[in-house]
Amino acid sequence: MSAAVLSPTPAPVQAAAPALSPAAREAIADLLERYGQALDDDRVEEWSGFFEPDGVYQVTTRENQLAGRPIGIVLCEGRGMLDDRVKALRIANIFESHTHRHVMGRPLIEPRADGCCEVRTSFVIYRTMYTGETEVFATGRYDDVLKPGPQGWRIAQRRVVLDSRMVDTLMVYPL
Amino acid sequence: MSAAVLSPTPAPVQAAAPALSPAAREAIADLLERYGQALDDDRVEEWSGFFEPDGVYQVTTRENQLAGRPIGIVLCEGRGMLDDRVKALRIANIFESHTHRHVMGRPLIEPRADGCCEVRTSFVIYRTMYTGETEVFATGRYDDVLKPGPQGWRIAQRRVVLDSRMVDTLMVYPL
Amino acid sequence: MSAAVLSPTPAPVQAAAPALSPAAREAIADLLERYGQALDDDRVEEWSGFFEPDGVYQVTTRENQLAGRPIGIVLCEGRGMLDDRVKALRIANIFESHTHRHVMGRPLIEPRADGCCEVRTSFVIYRTMYTGETEVFATGRYDDVLKPGPQGWRIAQRRVVLDSRMVDTLMVYPL
C-alpha cells in the first residue's frame, strides 16, 4: 500500500500512474461489494471467479504483519486452490451451521503505473449461528491489488489483515 | 433480484434497461442513507415519506425466504399502514427506551427496463438501551425496488431479509 | 445540519449554495475514510493533519445534545490541542493495549453558501484488545463541517455524537 493512500493529504498525481475514471472507481467498489454479498448468500462456488486465474488470497493478522512475518495463516495461489478449499468445505457440510454478513467501509483506491489499483477497505463480518445468535466474527481490512481486464476488474491479490490475534478454526471460511 | 447483480461478472448491458446516470446512482445511495439516519434520529414520522404512496414494506428472515415461504413477519402495504404503525408505537411511548444506529454497505444497483431499480444493500443495526449498553440488534440485507419520480427516488418495495431466525418483539420498530 | 440533509425529499437547489462537483464529493468521502484508517493503523500523529489549523473537535452524546447542553465531553480547538492530546497518550504508552476499527456509512453531504460542506456520517468503532477480544466500542455519527483548500478538504469542525450515555475513560482516544 503506497504512502499516498495512507496520507491525509490527497496524493499528488504521479506522472506514471494513469488517471482512474469515475466509472472504474464505481466498478471496483461494486466488485468488492458483490464479493461480500456472494459469500453472505452462501454462493461460495462463485468465490474464485472474483480472482484472476493466478490470483492470490492471504489471511494474516495485524500483529503478524507488524512483526514482519511474511507467512500468514492462509495462503491460496490460483483459482484451483480456492476452488479446492470450497469443495472441502462443502464435503464437510459445515456451511449450513452459520451465515456471514460483511459490512464494508468505503474502499480507498490508488491507481498504479501498471494499470492495476491498490485498494484498502475496512470491514466487519458478523456471524449468525443456526440458533439465531449474531456476533462479531472478525474485523480488519482488505489490502487488495485489483487488475482490469476485458470482463471487468478482478482480484490479483487479496490480503485479509485481521485485527485480532485470536484466529479460530473458522478461518477455514472465505473472508 | 436479477442474476446480474449477484454475479461477479459485470452485467452485460440489457437492450431494454436504460443506462443509469451517475447522478441517479448517487441519489439512490443518498436516499438509502437518509432513510437510516432518519430512523436513527427517531424521526420515524418521516418514515412513510421514503416510500411510494402504495409502497410495500416487508420483513422476513433468510430462513423463511430460502424455504420459499412468501409470508414474512411483517407486511405493510401503502403509506397509511406505515403511518399507523408509527402512531401505534408513539402511543405506546416505548420509543425513548432505546435508539438504533444503521450502518450500511454499498448498495448494488441494477436498472430495470421499466425505469425502476433493484437495489441490494447489506446492513447492521445496533441498539443502544437507555442504560447505555450497545449491542448488535440485527444484520441482514435490504432487497429494494426503487422508483424515480418528479420529487426524486422513492421505495416501491423494501424487503428486509434478516440473517437471524430469532425475531423478538422489537420487530415492531421500522428497520 | 440543515433540514435539507435530513429530509427524505432531495433538497431543492439553493441559489446561494454552489453546486458540488462529483470529484469534490469523492474527495470528501475519501478524506473521512482516510481519517478512520489512519486511526485504525495507530497513525495518530497524522490525526491533527485532517483538521484545519483552527479546526474544532468535539465529543458529546446524543442525550447531551437533545438536552441542549452545549458542553460535551471533549473539546479541542486547533491542531495544537489535538497534538497535545496525542502526545499525552503516547507518553502514557497505553496505545498498544488495543486497536480500533472504524466502519462508516455513506456520508450525507450538504454544500453551504460559504463553500464549506456539512457532512453527516454514521459510524461504528470496534475495539480489539491485546488478548484478541473484539467488541463494539462506540456507535454514533459524525456531524462535520469540511472546508476546501489548496491541499484538499480539511475538517473545520467535527462533532462526534455518541449513541450511548456510557462514556468510559477510553474517550481519551481520538474517535
Contacts within 8 Å (CB) and 24+ apart, A131-136: A131/B166, A132/B164, A132/B165, A132/B166, A133/B164, A133/B166, A134/A101, A134/B136, A134/B138, A134/B139, A134/B163, A134/B164, A135/B136, A136/B136, A136/C126, A136/C134, A136/C135, A136/C136
Supply the ipTM of this predicted assembly: 0.87
pLDDT of residue B93: 63
Of A8, A108, A122, the CB nearest to C49: A8
- Beta-carbon separation of C6 and B31 below 8 A: no
Provide, as residue numbers in chain B, all residues whose Cβ is less than 8 Å from the Cβ of C22: 22, 26
Q: Is the pLDDT of residue B98 over 60?
A: yes
Q: What is the average per-residue pLDDT within C66-71?
A: 83
Q: Is C136 on the interface with B (CB under 8 A)?
A: yes
Provide, as residue numbers in chain C, all residues whose Cβ is less than 8 Å from the Cβ of B101: 122, 124, 139-141, 163
Q: What is the average per-residue pLDDT within B118-147?
A: 95
Of B62, B103, B138, the CB nearest to A99: B62
Q: What is the average per-residue pLDDT within B121-126?
A: 98
Size of interface A-B (CB pairs under 8 A): 84
Cα distance between residue B14 and residue B25, in whole Å: 17
pTM, two decimals, is 0.90
**Residues constituting chain A:** 175
**A136: nearest CA partner in chain B:** B136
- Beta-carbon separation of A151 and B9 below 8 A: yes
Q: Is the pLDDT of residue B94 over 80?
A: no
Query: Among positive and negative, which fits the CA dihedral C105, C108, C46, C85?
Result: negative
What φ, ψ does residue A141 adopt, rounded to 5°?
A: -140, 150
CB B64 within 8 A of CB B74: no
Is pLDDT larger for residue B73 or for residue B163? B163
Is pLDDT larger for residue A169 or for residue A174? A174
CB C152 within 8 A of CB C50: no
- Beta-carbon separation of C106 and B132 below 8 A: no
Q: Is the pLDDT of residue B12 over 80?
A: no
- For A46-59, write each residue's pLDDT tens digit: 999 999 999 999 99
Question: How far B10 CA sits from the closest chain A CA (Å)?
Answer: 6
Closest alpha carbon to A109 in A15, A16, A30: A30
Is pLDDT larger for residue B58 or for residue B167? B58
Q: What is the average per-residue pLDDT within C83-112?
A: 88
What φ, ψ does residue B137 adopt, rounded to 5°?
A: -95, -45
Roughly how many angstroms between the first and final C-alpha of chain A, as a whole number? 20
Please report, for residues A121, B2, B10, B143, the alpha-carbon distance to residue B5 in angstroms, rounded to integers and kept in the order given. Answer: 21, 6, 8, 11
Provide, as residue numbers in chain A, all residues whose Cβ is less than 8 Å from the Cβ of C104: 105-106
- Beta-carbon separation of B40 and C141 below 8 A: yes
Q: What is the average per-residue pLDDT within B54-73?
A: 89
pLDDT of residue B109: 98
- For A86-127, write each residue's pLDDT tens digit: 998 888 766 557 899 999 999 999 999 999 999 999 999 999
Question: How far A133 CA sits from the closest chain B CA (Å)?
Answer: 7
Model confidence at B130, pLDDT cuts 50, 70, 90, reads confident
Provide, as residue numbers in chain B, all residues whose Cβ is less than 8 Å from the Cβ of C126: none
Provide, as residue numbers in chain C, all residues whose Cβ is less than 8 Å from the Cβ of B32: 106
Q: Is the pLDDT of residue A45 over 60?
A: yes
- Beta-carbon separation of C163 and B36 below 8 A: no
Burial of C53 from C-beta contacts in 10 A (0-12 / 13-18 / 19+): exposed
Return the C-alpha cell found at B142. 435490504
Cell 485485527 identifies what position? A163
Provide, as residue numbers in chain A, all residues whose Cβ is less than 8 Å from the Cβ of B108: 30, 33-34, 37
Cα distance between residue C121 and residue C29, in whole Å: 10
Is pLDDT larger for residue A124 or for residue C97? A124
Q: Is the pLDDT of residue A77 over 80?
A: yes
Cα distance between residue B121 and residue B140, in whole Å: 8
Provide, as residue numbers in chain A, all residues whose Cβ is less than 8 Å from the Cβ of B164: 128, 132-134
The count of other CB atoms within 10 Å of the CB of residue A169 is: 6
pLDDT of residue C49: 98
Q: Is A11 on the interface with B (CB under 8 A)?
A: no
pLDDT of residue B126: 96
pLDDT of residue A169: 58
Of B108, B123, B141, the CB nearest to A30: B108
> What percent of chain C clears pLDDT 90, i.e. is strictly above it?
69
Q: Is A141 on the interface with C (CB under 8 A)?
A: yes
The count of other CB atoms within 10 Å of the CB of residue B19 is: 8
Q: What is the average per-residue pLDDT within C109-114?
A: 97
Q: Is B12 on the interface with A (CB under 8 A)?
A: no
User: What is the full DSSP assignment across C122-147?
Assistant: EEEEEEEETTS-EEEEEEEEEEEEEE
Of A46, A49, A134, the CB nearest to B163: A134
**C124: nearest CA partner in chain B:** B103
Question: How far B107 CA sits from the closest chain C CA (Å)?
Answer: 10
- Beta-carbon separation of B164 and A38 below 8 A: no
Q: Is the pLDDT of residue A14 over 50?
A: no
CB A32 within 8 A of CB A104: yes
Cα distance between residue A61 and residue A155, in whole Å: 20
pLDDT of residue B8: 53
CB A141 within 8 A of CB A120: yes
Encode burial over A125-141: b for 16+ CB neighbours within 10 A, e otherwise: bbbbeeeeebebbbbbb
Q: What is the average per-residue pLDDT within C151-173?
A: 87
Of A29, A43, A128, the CB nearest to B164: A128
Q: Is the pLDDT of residue A34 over 50?
A: yes
Q: Is the pLDDT of residue B101 over 70?
A: yes
**A124: nearest CA partner in chain C:** C103
- For B20-44, write each residue's pLDDT tens digit: 999 999 999 999 999 999 999 999 9
Cβ under 8 Å to B: A residues 38-97: 38, 40-41, 43, 46, 49-50
- For C6-61, write each residue's pLDDT tens digit: 445 555 444 567 789 999 999 999 999 999 999 999 999 999 999 999 999 999 99
- Beta-carbon separation of C151 and A106 below 8 A: no
Of A29, A46, A152, the CB nearest to B106: A29
What φ, ψ does residue A173 adopt, rounded to 5°?
A: -80, 145
Question: How far A69 CA sits from the closest chain B CA (Å)?
Answer: 32
Query: Among positive and negative, which fits the CA dihedral C116, C120, C123, C125?
Result: positive
- Beta-carbon separation of C49 and A10 below 8 A: no
- Beta-carbon separation of A134 and B164 below 8 A: yes
Closest alpha carbon to C165 in B40, B93, B99, B103: B99
Residues 6+ apart with CB under 8 A from B70: none
* Average pLDDT over all residues of chain B: 88
